[in-house]
Chains A and B, each alone.
Chain A
Amino acid sequence: MIVADHVTFQYAESSEPALRDISLSIDDGDFVGITGTSGAGKSTLAMALNGIVPHEWKGDFYGSVKIDGMDTVEHQTEDFCRKIGEVFQDIDSQMVASVVEDEILFGLENFGVPHGEIKIRLEKVLEDLGIPDLRKREISSLSGGQKQKVAIAAILALEPRILVLDEPTGELDPESSREIFGLLRKLNEEKGITIVIIEQKIKLLCEYVKRLIVLDKGALAFDGVPGEIISHIETFKTLGINVPPVAELSYLLRQSGVYDGGITLTVQEAEKMVREVLHDPV
């Protein structure tokens, strides 16, 4: 469990805080999406949740973040890195090896995992992510989606309980992006891994996450179930965050009084809504 209590952080070279008085808690087993405009503080929040801020970034840090009760300021990042794994926005900067298997082995060896267990974990994580065929491949020959899976595999091999991902689908096509989100859902549902994902792709967030956190200029603007908070469409637009087109359609129909159900987030939900409004058989 991660608890942030009135967290404010200002980078040393900046004139304004990147995070402003953030209080939230992330429970074990949560699947949380964090979104907001550029510069809203999404990456800074993710780094504050795993202790990288303030340890690796100079600046003024106020408030506290506790990971399983351990204060991130009082402990060093190595105390948390076994609990929380992070997949960076730029995966190329994360990769250290040239072959997939070596990339996964790197973390395991650095963590001092016993020799006999290394092979078991390597094979298991490749299997879990559906990439055993990539084991001997050169990383430079992989597609964006494959690379992303390898980056996630290398972190998962370390068996973290919490996985923080910073825009993991940034350079992927929609199908590959959905594959990654599907994989994260599976890890969350079947293995109980807590997922915290920073993402701009609102359609994906609405479809997959259990909870959505919206940041605006470093402060918490919304925190709740996607279907509920997306109904504040006008505020989302003011904040500069788009909503799925089908959500806007349901909002307009609700405004006009022809529909009184919830905000629709997917095409399937919207089809059901339109048939209901037109009294069509489903």
Chain B
Amino acid sequence: MIRFEHVSFGYPNGETTIEDLSFHIQKGDFVALIGANGAGKSTISRLCNGLLRPLSGRVYLDGQDTLITPTSQLAKKAGFLFQNPDRQICENTVEAEIAFSMKVQGWPADKIRERVAAALETFDLQGDWFPFNRSRGERQRIALAGVLACEPELLILDEPTTGLDYLECIRIMDHIKMLNLEKKITVLMVSHDMELVQDYAGRVLVLSGGKLLGDGPVKEIMKNEPLLRQARVLPAQIPSLALAFGDRFADVFTIREMYEAICREKGRGICRAGREKE
């Protein structure tokens, strides 16, 4: 779905430089892009859909070279959710906002009406709301509804859960995961939240200073504490706790797994409802 071939990029002011970066993301993958502020995550996400173009090397989106393909054409394949929804929302009603991208892309009016109605229901939004005085979480849902209404094959999420509370976060991420599993939408998610990454991503790319430090299955990367520290990434709590015990909890990744492993070590049955089977 996305192929980076020896990509280099730098901003005119010298900020964040990507150097000779190559990787390939398959259709249907759920990939997390992690690293500290300034590591190049947002730059890479913008190189994927032609918002930025490589200075050297090539980026291919579904086989299309982003250097020579118009952004409007790339936008039909790649939906992009900004970290800050206020950089995305431009219409005065939620209904118009969700319809905006579909109109730009030339969707038929009846299809637009149908998809707007479905999006309002899925994301629990009201069409006549003025988007700009809704809460941050609601504005994020509005922006995502607009992106997903166009049925992109690739969904790029730049810190999608910033400013969202736990329930909103679960709700949005579960919906994205469902689209990933059922509709095979490819997801590229930039995130600082390692609990979120371990819960949803299948593969992780670790970035530092515009270079790829690591690339592997989520469980492997989450247990590679030296790699995460090198990338200035704070590991998720449970894998980090498990690592403090060497190989003893090598397979432990989640709260439940840790709890069960401790119960096993204690030689007891596993408590499921507050009572334990001896």
Residues of A within 8 A of B (CB): 13, 36-40, 90, 141, 143-145, 167, 170-176, 178, 200, 203, 237, 240-242, 244-246, 248-249, 252-253, 255-258, 267, 270-271, 274, 277-278
Contact = CB atoms under 8 A, between A and B. Distances in A.
B262 A278 contact: yes
B266 A39 contact: no
B167 A253 contact: no
A240 B165 contact: yes
Interface of B: 13, 15, 35-38, 83-84, 86, 133, 135-138, 159, 162-169, 192, 195, 232-234, 236-238, 240-241, 244-245, 255, 258-259, 262-263, 265-266, 268, 271, 274-276
Given A143-B38, A174-B192, A258-B262, A252 B165 contact: no
Contacts of A267: 237, 240-241, 244
Contact of B36 (A173, A248, A252, A258): A173
B262 A175 contact: no
A220 to B, nearest CB: 17
Contact of B232 (A175, A237, A256, A257): A175
A172 B37 contact: yes
Contacts of A175: 36, 232, 234
Contacts of B169: 242
Contacts of B244: 267, 271
Contacts of A256: 259, 263, 268, 271, 274-276
B251 to A, nearest CB: 16
Contacts of A90: 86
Closest 7 CB pairs of A and B: A38-B137, A240-B167, A256-B271, A174-B234, A242-B166, A37-B165, A38-B135
19 contacts: A38-B163, A38-B165, A39-B137, A90-B86, A141-B15, A172-B37, A174-B233, A200-B164, A240-B166, A241-B165, A249-B258, A253-B262, A256-B276, A257-B276, A258-B276, A270-B237, A270-B241, A271-B241, A274-B245
A277 B162 contact: no
Contacts of A178: 234
A171 B84 contact: yes
A172 B38 CA distance: 10
A169 B237 CA distance: 19
A143 B236 contact: no
A38 B36 contact: no
B236 A245 contact: yes
Contact of B37 (A173, A240, A241, A252): A173
A14 to B, nearest CB: 9
A245 B233 contact: no
Contact of A141 (B13, B36, B258): B13
A164 B258 CA distance: 38
Contacts of B164: 38, 200
A170 B268 contact: no
A252 B84 contact: no
Contacts of B168: 37-38, 240
Contact of B255 (A245, A258, A278): A245
A249 B239 CA distance: 12
A278 B266 CA distance: 7
A200 B162 CA distance: 9
A148 to B, nearest CB: 11
